[in-house]
Structure 1
Amino acid sequence: MEEKNTRFEDLRLTPGQPLQLDFEGYTTERDRSVLIGYRAGQSIVVTTPLVNGSPMVLKLGAPLAVRLFATQMNCACAFRTEITHISRAPYPHLHLAMPSSLVLGEVRSSVRAKVSLITSVHYGENFSQKCSAIIKDLSLGGARLEAKMLPVEVGENVQLTAQVAVSGIERIIKLDAIVRAITKETGGVGVGLQFQAMSDSDRITLHAYVLSNIHRQ
């Protein structure tokens, strides 16, 4: 990722944009939040993350990192900021200082994220056969999955359907792929896949999902 002189408002984000907040010294996992709105040059307003159903207890001036996937620019974005105001009414929300700089970048197609994602694999003539498998690692260019049984051959076309969660939002993705490798695994088979052309919406969702899982590693 590369630091650029892009302004926050240039991202053209809309209310409801999923965010990941990383508070220094508070948690080891990134907390989910949603963009409420912003005013250029003033502040960014976001929902306060919940812990066991209650708003996080935070302090004014607390530093944090914000990460998101900017759909309009088709890129990942991260920046550092701090809390400038905390409110519990009419609902828990935070004001964050406008960042002085943003870090923008693409996830390389070869970068793989370790996952454990259930998927339906459609194969055979007209993709009329179906079985379940688990995607073990995933990138923008392909995946490796494991199944108890998947009677396919190298070079064969298959289709994957999976439900992924990106910052708390569930989406269904459908991906066309070519079988590139088959290996015997304990209790089943491992299959290496190369993705083919996909819709813009599936590419954006896959991009965001891979990014979020790389951050967890």
Structure 2
Amino acid sequence: MYFAPVDPLDLYVEQPVPWAVYDRDGKLVLDKGGEFESEQQIRTLLARGLYREAAAPPRQPAPASPPPAPAPQPAASEQRTERKLLDETRLAVGDTIQLQAQFDGGNMRLAVSLIGYLKGKSIIVTAPMRDGKFLMMREGQSFIARMFSGKNAYAFPATIIKVTNVPYPHLHLSYPAEVEAVMVRRDARVKVRVIAAVQSRNSPSAAAILSDLSTGGCSLLAENQLGQKSDEIVVKFKAPISGIEQLLTLKGIVRGIQLDNAPVDGRSRFTHGVQFVDHAPGDQVALTAFVYQKLIEDELKL
């Protein structure tokens, strides 16, 4: 019996599956006609690897049902999500793709570069490296591929179908039927917790916590006030982008300051609203990549 990875887009809550589902060891997880109880159950099982018989028919779309009343969403999640074909994403040779795999409670992220693709056949990427050495990959490994292009963030399931070292190490990944896309707004904010160094014109450098971030600004938490409203400041922090830590240096203007008088740990903190201005081109690219990467991780939970 030959097994193929289950497409996460084929799994629904409380909808009978049209085929038996197995784990990576070939053990039965859910019999044909069984139902998943929750999205959390689906995510947990996908992280361990789910497979079905290769000859099994594709999942038919879930029957339409009246949509539930929309729940209020935080500002960071106000994105428009849709599905596209891969050749509609305008990916270019050399674009970075992040391969994420979850296994035994661990989480692995690998950065590769797009070499090219043949529609309906495979996506060709460079072999991932770590500490200057190529990592050993095996055929059949499954990942969630994440990337961004233009103002869009994308994600799709991918499986290594061929590993080759000729004429150089590269991988063939399975070609997705569709990719899930998030249309990123300029003011879309992502929740982060990053240590930053803040320098103002009239004060020495001070430590702060960058608590949320967008391409246009951020919030900074600090035990002491970081200057006055309308002051110009410089924010420096390290951001892990596609597995590589980069130092960003961003100029900003303090637009608002608020004192938290009832902190949980008993220590008062100041929250500073900061608008970024006059980015250096390199920092702008890195900031956009970091924000998009977080949006991919937060919004596209396949």
Work out the CA distance in 1 between the residues paired with 2:102 and 2:268: 43
Pairwise mapping of residues 1-217 of structure 1 onto structure 2 (< 5 A)?
1-7=81-87, 10-14=90-94, 17-23=95-101, 25=103, 28-35=106-113, 37-41=115-119, 42-48=122-128, 55-56=135-136, 58-60=138-140, 62-70=141-149, 73-87=150-164, 93-108=170-185, 109-119=187-197, 121-123=198-200, 127-140=201-214, 141-169=216-244, 170-183=246-259, 189-199=269-279, 201-213=282-294, 215=297
Is the partner of 1:7 in helix, strand or coil? helix
- CA change 1:101–1:216 in 2 (3 A) is closer
Say if 2:145 and 2:156, in contact at 8 Å, map to a contact too.
yes
Query: How many residue pairs end up in the alignment?
Result: 207
Larger Rg: 2
Say if 1:164 and 1:173, in contact at 8 Å, map to a contact too.
no
Task: State the structure with bigger RCO (CA 8 A, min sep 6), 1 or 2.
Answer: 1
Pairwise CA RMSD of aligned residues?
A: 3.4
For residues 173-193 of structure 1, give each alpha carbon's deviation from its aligned partner in whole angstroms, at most 9, with x where no partner exists.
313132312325666642322
Say if 2:255 and 2:273, in contact at 8 Å, map to a contact too.
yes
Matched to 2:219, the amino acid is R
Deviation at 1:3, TM superposition (A): 1.4
Matched to 2:83, the amino acid is E
- CA change 1:137–1:151 in 2 (3 A) is closer
Work out the CA distance in 2 between the residues paired with 1:158 and 1:38: 42
Work out the CA distance in 2 between the residues paired with 1:54 and 1:216: 29
Structure 2 portions without partners, runs of 5+: 1-80
User: Counting strand residues as a fraction of each chain, which structure ranks higher?
Assistant: 1
Deviation at 1:77, TM superposition (A): 2.0
- TM-score computed with the length of structure 2 as normaliser: 0.56
Structure 1 portions without partners, runs of 5+: none
Deviation at 1:63, TM superposition (A): 3.2
Work out the CA distance in 2 between the residues paired with 1:24 and 1:149: 39
Work out the CA distance in 2 between the residues paired with 1:45 and 1:110: 29
